[in-house]
Every structure is written in structure tokens, then in C-alpha cells.
Amino acid sequence: MRLQRLWASVRCAVLGVVHLRALPGAPRHSLSVPQIVEKACEEAAVYMEAGIDGLIVENMHDIPYSPRVGPEVTAIMAAICVAVRQSYPSLPLGVQMLSAANQQAMAVALATDADFIRAEGFVFSQISDEGFLDACASDLLRYRKQIGAENIQIFADIKKKHSSHALTADVSIAETGRAAEFFLADGVIVTGIATGQETDPAQLKEVKEALKIPVLVGSGVSYENMEQYMAADGFIIGSHFKKAGYWANELDTERIKKFMSKIHQLRK
């Protein structure tokens, strides 16, 4: 219901990304689990103060990402999402687990009363920087049904960033989006070629015109260029809300407030 109310009442919903500090087992892990949870809640509070429309919790600092996510990552992501949800019970909340740990993200979302997951590799196969990424829609939707999590929506990346799409070069982004819609995705995400890189507005237009489900922009939206993406149903923003616009830096409260002030004007 939180997402349904969001889509019904907000034009271009803004979803801020909580980039978790490196979790246990990751090469850059250094903080204790309570410290990671505390940092995540601090970031969520900054977003809330700035008037954000929703949040996504993501293990962004777990580089290099592994296609085999350990049970400790799932457990700690659940603990973090519980803490965020308890603080903000009415806020739309999503989960992304890198790399493409979509079933684990679904389990975390179910356990923590989250509303959606961001899924990589939903349809078609591709070569990503983590290796070969195969399509997962069949297994993921059957898993969602099996665990009784059908209220949790799936926002699927199409033509995923940080990937080669030579295998599907003859399939347009609109056709990819239609395949995701046909395979029961609740929404799709278009991005630039890498984290923080601008999404092609022409691709957004192409996908938006082809689909009936929500279309989100997942990278490169900024204060300076947001006007060209206002046809989207939502923005997922991480890098631009950080100091100097770099994903690994601390959140910049003034950047977020400035962005939200401008989008409130554009929504009118």
C-alpha cells in the first residue's frame, strides 16, 4: 500500500539510496555490525529530514561484488532494514543486494516489511563486471510465490549498467522492457552505463512509451538535469546526494534539500 499511495500521489518519486558500509567478509569491512546499523540509520534520518519520498538499502561498499552472497550478508541486511523500518514505518522501503542476490533481497524484504526489491538480471543474460549474469525472472517469481511475498514488488534493471550487452545487441531497450513487463516485473529501471552516469533521455522516452508499468531512472539524475527526466515515475539517486557527487562520500544534506526543493517546483 505504501508504494501504491506513492505512485498515486507523487510525480517522479525520489528514492534515496542508503549505501551501507562494507559488511563482514567484504575486503573493505572495518566497522562492527552495530556501527554499520547506526550509520545506515543516520543516513536514513538525513534523507527524511530533506523530505525524500522513499529509501533503498544497498550493500554498495561490498566491492568487488560477488555472485555468491553469504548468509551473513542476508542476516545483516535484515537487521539494518528492521532498524530503518522501525524508525520510519510509513516510508516506502526497498532492498538491493549486490551482486544480483535477488532471492536473498526478497527474503530480507519479507522479513523486514519492506515494499520492493531492485533486481539485476531479471530478463536476458549479460556479461557484467562480476561475470556472467543469467536471467532470473522464473526462479525469482516462483520463490516470491513460495514464501508468500507477493506484496513485495520487483523493480528490474533493463540493459543493466556496468555490463556488456553484446549478446542482446539486437534487442532494443524497449523490447527488453516489454520482456520484463511480460515476465511480471512490477516496474523497470533504466540507467547510464555506470554508477552516477547520466541515463539517456531518449531511452527513457522509448521505454516509457512502450510499457504500462512504472519506469524509474536509476542513475545520473541531478539538480542540473532533472527536467529532462520528469516523464519517469521515479528517480533512484545515490551519487548525486553525496558530497561532490561521488557515491563513496558522505551524504550532503544541502544537496538533497536543494534537489527536493526544485523537484517540488517542477511537480507543480
Does pLDDT of 221 surpass 70?
Answer: yes
The pLDDT value given to residue 163: 65
Could you tell me which of 135, 127, 55 has the C-alpha nearest to residue 96? 55
Average pLDDT across the chain, whole number: 94
Look up the domain containing 74 and give its range: 2-267
Instruction: Identify the band that residue 164 occupies on the pLDDT scale cut at 50, 70 and 90.
Output: low
The pLDDT value given to residue 161: 61
The pLDDT value given to residue 135: 93
What pTM was estimated for this model as a whole? 0.95
| 238 vs 246: CA distance, rounded Å | 9
- The pLDDT tens digits for 53-102 are 999 999 999 999 988 899 999 999 999 999 999 999 999 999 999 999 99
- The pLDDT tens digits for 130-147 are 777 889 999 999 999 999
Does pLDDT of 162 surpass 80?
Answer: no
CATH number at residue 139: 3.20.20.70
How many distinct structural domains can be found in the chain?
1
| 209 vs 29: CA distance, rounded Å | 43
Could you tell me which of 220, 217, 195 has the C-alpha nearest to residue 208? 217
- Cα distances (Å, whole numbers) of residue 24 to 27, 32, 74, 104, 250: 8, 8, 11, 16, 20
Instruction: Identify the band that residue 50 occupies on the pLDDT scale cut at 50, 70 and 90.
Output: very high
- The pLDDT tens digits for 114-125 are 999 999 999 998
Q: What percent of the chain has pLDDT over 90?
A: 84
